[in-house]
Amino acid sequence: MKTRDDLLAFLDAQGIAHRTVDHPAVFRVGEGEEIKAGLPGAHTKNLFLKDAKDRLWLISAADRTAIDLKRLPPVIGAARLSFGREALMVEALGVTPGSVTALGLINDAARRVTFVLDRQLAQAKTVNFHPLTNTATTALDQAGFRRFLAAVGVEPLVVDFETLQVVEGQTIR
């Protein structure tokens, strides 16, 4: 599994501009508001999920986006969704609870995880994610974030969570 240092070196090797700020651990959305206030761009919440057919899902959304996990499955082509166990999260993304991040997709070499991206986040000029640890935040511009996804072989399924519609990508059936 790749570490924070490996991730940042990967971004550098791909020519993806990034800025990482260290801070006290942040475990949940709503914590660390004073940290976020000093970091421009969209802040994120990230959910690691498993569906009833044992498929893995990662949702990255703007921190204030409401996500209705009961109504979402037919929109994205999932069976009933539940939160993934910690051991599965570590195995699939190399992160622990509180550190879930889209940047963890660097560790999903088997491409087991389907990535769902919030439309608001997909349109944000700058996005902020934990760099595999919740004691730092890494900012990427949108083009850099999309280059990261392409470099790790991930095509996001972009969902408008207000209308519950896929706006980019293909659902799994």
Distances 28 to 3, 33, 62 between C-alpha atoms, Å: 21, 11, 13
For residue 55, which of 76, 75, 40 has the smallest C-alpha distance?
76
pTM of this prediction? 0.93
Task: Dump pLDDT digits (tens) for 141-153.
Answer: 999 999 999 999 9
> Could you give the residue ranges of the DSSP H alpha helices within the chain?
4-13, 33-37, 73-76, 86-93, 119-123, 142-151
The pair of three-digit structure tokens given for residue 166, joined into one six-digit string: 């896929």
Write down the pLDDT at residue 141.
98
Task: Dump pLDDT digits (tens) for 68-108.
Answer: 999 999 999 999 999 999 999 999 999 999 999 999 999 99
143 contacts 151 by C-beta, under 8 angstroms: no
Write down the pLDDT at residue 105.
98
For residue 115, which of 133, 98, 129 has the smallest C-alpha distance?
129
Write down the pLDDT at residue 169.
83
The answer on pLDDT for 33 being more than 70 is no
The pair of three-digit structure tokens given for residue 89, joined into one six-digit string: 């999260």
DSSP secondary structure, 62-93, as one string? ETT----TTTSHHHHT--SEEEPPHHHHHHHH
